[in-house]
Amino acid sequence: MRADDPFTAFVAHARLHGVEACVYVSLREHNALGADAQMQLRDAYLGALHVHMQARRALAELHDAFDDDGIPWLVIKGAALAHVAYSRTDLRSYTDVDVVVAPAAFPDAVRALERAGHTILDQNWRAIRNEMNGQVHARLATGVTIDLHWNLINHAYLRQTFPIDTMPLLERSRVVTVGDTPIRTLSAADTLVHLALHTCLSGGDRLIWLKDVEQVLLHDQPAWPEAIDRAREWNAVVALATVLETTRSTLGVAVPRDARRALASSWWRALVRATDRANPVEAATGAASPAQMLRRAIRGTERATVVNGARHLYRSMRGSARLVPSMAGNAPDAPESVLYPSGDAGDRDAYLRAVAATR
């Protein structure tokens, strides 16, 4: 199997975009595929399926750790979407499990994980406390990584722009059974708007994020008035409009015209389509592009987004732009990383107390 084999690059690209399972199911019996190509696709699919099976066990472990202590929690993103949105659970690839708990219960959740023999990975408690991160990372005894959130938005400055209260999310949540374990996940409206906001803030340049939105629209579509109201409540109207427009043009999924018009002006929708044509999501490699910058610049209004994007474009030309704080990094030897040892038990306790007091 040569490293320069075009199909090797194709499989690597599918993995980059998180759609290796979908590609395998679609192409595994294609007559044009040789034995090597079929093996590469199968291996990619089996790797994704292995993570999915591990996640089932992880959710059972979390159920045991949290429910015994009466900690309210729910699961978001990949592990939940595989069951509420996709027609087959094996189609949704993911690498970790995202969990949300009530802020007041966050310290109890951290301690419950540690009592059960799991490990909190983050060590940079001084920076985490100063930044008031909306999540910490943990590794379960079985090796599965989880992101333990107390807010859907990790960075404090973005929480000021997109005000999402965690408690209503829990109150509106619904139950889905994963294996033999009943878990809670976001309501249909919360799911769609959160997917759109997460996609934009992450750059929107991976097909799996659009696939999630497509599958929600096909199999778990909320009532449009409720979804639009939620987007307005979270100041995420532009984010929802942008991702719906990109998903519609990229994957061909239908979005009601009335909903599109209610969310964005015609010039904004045209701008999104133009940047998508110039920088197709399916061709993205992770490198910066105007389409990626537009999505990362998303704010509460179209005008605020344009101003924010122009500001960062100017700063990028000067070599000083940083749309996402460096705390997002995870290199343990980088002082700005959450994994870098800094601070002490006092910083950790202060952070947990501050989270518990969050309204």
pLDDT (tens digit per residue) in 31-54: 766 677 778 888 888 888 888 888
* pLDDT beyond 80 at 116: yes
Identify whether 66 is part of a domain.
yes
Same domain, 255 and 358: no
Same domain, 207 and 316: yes
Please compute the mean of the pLDDT values over residues 192-201 and round it to a whole number: 98
Cα-Cα-Cα-Cα torsion 275, 276, 280, 286, nearest 10 degrees, comes to 60
pLDDT, the chain, mean? 90
| pTM for the structure as a whole | 0.92
Identify whether 46 is part of a domain.
no
Give the residue carrying structure tokens 């038990």: 345
CA distances for 337 relative to 122, 133, 255, 342, angstroms: 9, 12, 40, 10
Scored b (16 or more CB within 10 A) or e, 39-55 reads ebbeebbeebeebbebb
Query: Of 203, 202, 219, nearest to 211 (Cα)?
Result: 219
* Structural domain span for residue 277: 187-324
Asked whether the beta carbons of 217 and 246 are under 8 A apart, the reply is no
Same domain, 154 and 248: no
Same domain, 318 and 329: no
Q: For 228-264, how does the pLDDT look when each residue is reduced to its tens digit (9 = 90+)?
A: 999 999 999 999 999 999 999 999 999 999 999 999 9
CA distances for 241 relative to 55, 159, 193, 246, angstroms: 32, 20, 10, 9
Same domain, 346 and 301: no
Identify whether 31 is part of a domain.
no
Identify whether 11 is part of a domain.
no
CA distances for 55 relative to 59, 138, 140, 244, 359, angstroms: 6, 14, 10, 29, 31
Please state, in angstroms and rounded to a whole number, the distance separating the CA atoms of residues 7 and 227. 40
Band of the pLDDT at 320, cuts 50, 70, 90?
Answer: low
Please state, in angstroms and rounded to a whole number, the distance separating the CA atoms of residues 298 and 308. 8
* pLDDT beyond 90 at 179: no
Identify whether 19 is part of a domain.
no
Same domain, 198 and 107: no
Same domain, 244 and 204: yes
Q: For 282-314, how does the pLDDT look when each residue is reduced to its tens digit (9 = 90+)?
A: 999 989 898 999 999 999 999 999 999 888 777
* pLDDT beyond 90 at 186: yes
Q: Where residue 348 sits, what CATH number does that domain have?
A: 3.30.460
Asked whether the beta carbons of 350 and 107 are under 8 A apart, the reply is no
Same domain, 162 and 61: yes
Which tokens is 181 given? 């374990």
Q: What is the number of structural domains in the chain?
A: 2
Identify whether 44 is part of a domain.
no
Identify whether 134 is part of a domain.
yes
Same domain, 310 and 351: no
Same domain, 214 and 314: yes
Please compute the mean of the pLDDT values over residues 2-25 and round it to a whole number: 81
Please state, in angstroms and rounded to a whole number, the distance separating the CA atoms of residues 329 and 276. 27
Same domain, 200 and 315: yes
Same domain, 197 and 69: no
Identify whether 20 is part of a domain.
no
Which tokens is 225 given? 């008035």
Give the residue carrying structure tokens 């992101």: 147
Please compute the mean of the pLDDT values over residues 57-85 and round it to a whole number: 91
